[in-house]
Amino acid sequence: MRQLKEKELALIDECILGLISEEEFENKFPFRVSIQEIESYLDSFITNKKNQRFEIVLWSIPKEFAKTEEGSLFGRYLLVDGHFGHDNIASAFQTYFNDNKSFINPLIEAVSNVPEYLQNDDVKYPYLRKIIYAIGAQPEPYNINALEGLLTNDDLAIVDLVKHQIEKRKSRGRWEPKSI
């Protein structure tokens, strides 16, 4: 596995400082990373509390793997504490990683594994709303089954968010299976 060299770390830092755009960073980065390499880099950044490097590498480093693997990677880091990207990762599951039922499991786990820095109610429930919306955006009928499973949650605010998402799905005709 290839370790990042000083010039590559300097390129990441240039992007963090706004000296180059994320697009320029992607174009200048000298290689495409494998799933094993990116996991190693991200874990190292978490351990060394390099959150800005974590963000740039997660979102912008050129990747050499499929969308399904990338979704699994994002699912993994949705459940890992030690970085501050959970909110953006949750959004990615609503807008980009929304076409594979395997993406539902990390979202369900995330409902009961809210990171420490998001425990304040002012940020916790907006974060959980994103997670629940992301579950709703997944393929049917798996999304509906997952939402229904969350109705038994002990946290009434979560149950209310889930009920709202179910009603939203019903009102948009995304609830009942289509007849043949």
Instruction: Tell me the per-residue pLDDT of 147-162, one tens digit each, with 9 for 90 and over.
Output: 999 999 999 999 999 9
Indicate the pTM of the whole model.
0.90
Instruction: Tell me the per-residue pLDDT of 42-96, one tens digit each, with 9 for 90 and over.
Output: 999 999 999 999 999 999 999 999 999 999 999 999 999 999 999 999 999 999 9
Percent of the chain with pLDDT over 90: 90
Sign of CA pseudo-dihedral 48, 50, 51, 56 = negative
In this predicted structure, the answer to whether residue 1 has a pLDDT above a threshold of 70 is yes
Instruction: Tell me the per-residue pLDDT of 9-56, one tens digit each, with 9 for 90 and over.
Output: 999 999 999 999 999 999 999 999 999 999 999 999 999 999 999 999
In this predicted structure, the answer to whether residue 176 has a pLDDT above a threshold of 60 is no
Could you give the CA distance from residue 58 to residue 84 in angstroms, rounded to a whole number? 12
Angle at 136 between CA 62 and CA 130, to 5 degrees: 65
Residue ranges per structural domain of the chain: 1-65, 86-172
